[in-house]
Amino acid sequence: MEDHYKYLQLAKKLKALADRGVDGEKFNATQKLAELMEKHGFTMEDVEGEEINCYLFDLDGERTTERLFAQIVSTVCGAGQEIYRIVEKGQIKGAVDTTVSRSIEIEAKFGFYHGIFKREVNLFYTAFINANNLFHEDCKKITVGEMTREELEKALQIQKMAKLMDKHDYKKQIKNDPPQYC
């Protein structure tokens, strides 16, 4: 983040020189500014004004969510963007030094993909359970006739995912042990 900030400050100085410079000075500053902006992914909005502040984003504390958040931040701010993990009153937050417009983009993009991610993880979990037959013997089986159209579509999606997964067979470690409730 320090390098990002340092280069942004340099871009601001070059912009000022390009605006008030004369002849070759103005031309060179404009050219260097364009090169710097392209190299570091700066927009003119970044250079012309928005201040960089620390913005906090609520996370649910799961490591996969934090990884998704980091990925979203990198798509908005660049791969070198630092993210700080903060625990505030038991709540996990991600902190990012960025502009207000980028913080809004992060919030919207993360909100969009986080909901989808949670649904996909639930589908994956159910498919994994199905693929490895991890059901209790008393588990109630539901017939196709008892399902709504949405439930049937979801069941078919889970079935397709389960077929693509490797199946693993666990060998029971306790011989002749009747099932009991713990």
pLDDT of residue 23: 80
- Amino acid, res. 48: E
CA-to-CA distance for 109 and 113, rounded, in angstroms? 6
Question: Rounded CA gap, 11 and 42, in Å?
Answer: 9
What whole-number percentage of the chain has pLDDT above 90?
Answer: 39
- Phi and psi at 168, nearest 5°, equal -125, 135
What percentage of the chain carries pLDDT values higher than 70?
Answer: 93
CA–CA separation, 104 and 80 (whole Å): 19
Largest CA distance in the chain: 91
**What does the alpha-carbon distance between residue 52 and residue 4 come to, in Å, rounded to a whole number?**
11
Strands (E), the chain: 53-58, 83-88, 91-98
Structure tokens at 145: 């006739």
Q: How many CB atoms lie within 10 A of CB 165?
A: 13
Q: What are phi and psi of 56, to 5 degrees?
A: -105, 140
pLDDT tens figures, 94-149:
999 998 888 999 999 999 999 999 999 999 999 999 899 888 777 767 777 888 88
Whether 83 shows a pLDDT value over 80: the answer reads: yes
Cβ neighbours for 18, distance < 8 A, ≥ 6 positions apart: 26, 29, 30, 33
pLDDT digits (tens, 9 = 90+) for 36-45: 889 988 888 7
Q: Are strands 91-98 and 83-88 parallel, antiparallel or unpaired?
A: antiparallel
Q: What is the pLDDT of residues 9-55, one digit of tens each?
A: 888 888 888 888 778 888 888 899 899 889 988 888 777 766 788 99
CA distance 126 to 161: 9
Residues in the chain: 182
